[in-house]
C-alpha cells in the first residue's frame, strides 16, 4: 500500500471531519452521550442512512466511541473519544465563525437558527449593585 500524501495538514483534518454532517454530529456530542434517535431529532434534515454512515466513519477513525448496552431492546449510545475531544477547540472556532457570519449576513442570528440545545438564547442576568 502506498503512503498517502497531503499538500497541507488541513487536508488530513477535512478528510476525517469534512462534509456537511460530521462537525454537526461532533458539536452535539460535546454536550454528552447521544443515542442515534437523539441525534436524528437534533438534526432532522439528515437521513437515517447518512447519520449511520457518518457515525461509522467517525468511529472507524477513533473520533467517537460506540457504546452497546446488553439489554432488550438493544441500546447504543455515541460519545466523543479522548481523541475526539481534541477537536473541541476546532469545533468551537467553527461555531464562533459561523455565528459571526450569520449575524453579518442576516442580522439576527435567531431568525435563521433552529431552536435546539446548541442555539439557546442566553438570558442576561442583571443584579442590583451591592452597597
User: What would the pLDDT profile of 27-44 be if each residue is shown by its tens digit?
Assistant: 999 999 999 999 999 999
Q: pLDDT at residue 127 above 50?
A: no
Q: 108 versus 115: which is more confidently predicted?
A: 108
Residue 4's pLDDT band, with cuts at 50, 70 and 90, is confident
Q: Which residues contact 117 (CB under 8 A, 6 or more apart)?
A: 28, 31, 42
**Distance (Å, rounded) from C-alpha 53 to C-alpha 111?**
31
pLDDT at 91 over 60: yes
pLDDT of 16 reads 95
Mean pLDDT of the chain: 88
| Cβ contact 29:80 at 8 Å | yes
Q: What is the pLDDT of residue 126?
A: 43
Rounded CA-CA distance 88/109 in Å is 22
The answer to whether 28 and 70 have CB atoms below 8 angstroms apart is no
Task: Give pLDDT, residue 120.
Answer: 65
Q: Which residues contact 24 (CB under 8 A, 6 or more apart)?
A: 43, 46
Task: Report the run of H or E that residue 45 belongs to, with start and end.
Answer: none
Query: How many Å apart are CA 91 and CA 58, to the nearest integer?
Result: 15
Query: What pLDDT shows up at residue 102?
Result: 87
User: Residue 21 has which C-alpha cell?
Assistant: 454532517
pTM recorded for the entire structure: 0.82
Amino acid at each position: 500500500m502506498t503512503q498517502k500524501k497531503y499538500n497541507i495538514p488541513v487536508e488530513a483534518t477535512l478528510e476525517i471531519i469534512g462534509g456537511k454532517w460530521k462537525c454537526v454530529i461532533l458539536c452535539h456530542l460535546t454536550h454528552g452521550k447521544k443515542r442515534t434517535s437523539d441525534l436524528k431529532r437534533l438534526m432532522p434534515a439528515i437521513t437515517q442512512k447518512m447519520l449511520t454512515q457518518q457515525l461509522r466513519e467517525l468511529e472507524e477513525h477513533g473520533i467517537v466511541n460506540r457504546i452497546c448496552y446488553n439489554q432488550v431492546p438493544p441500546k447504543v449510545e455515541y460519545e466523543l473519544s479522548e481523541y475526539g475531544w481534541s477537536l473541541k477547540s476546532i469545533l468551537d472556532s467553527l461555531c464562533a465563525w459561523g455565528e459571526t457570519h450569520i449575524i453579518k449576513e442576516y442580522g439576527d442570528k435567531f431568525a435563521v437558527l433552529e431552536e435546539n440545545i446548541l442555539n439557546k438564547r442566553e438570558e442576561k442576568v442583571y443584579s442590583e449593585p451591592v452597597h
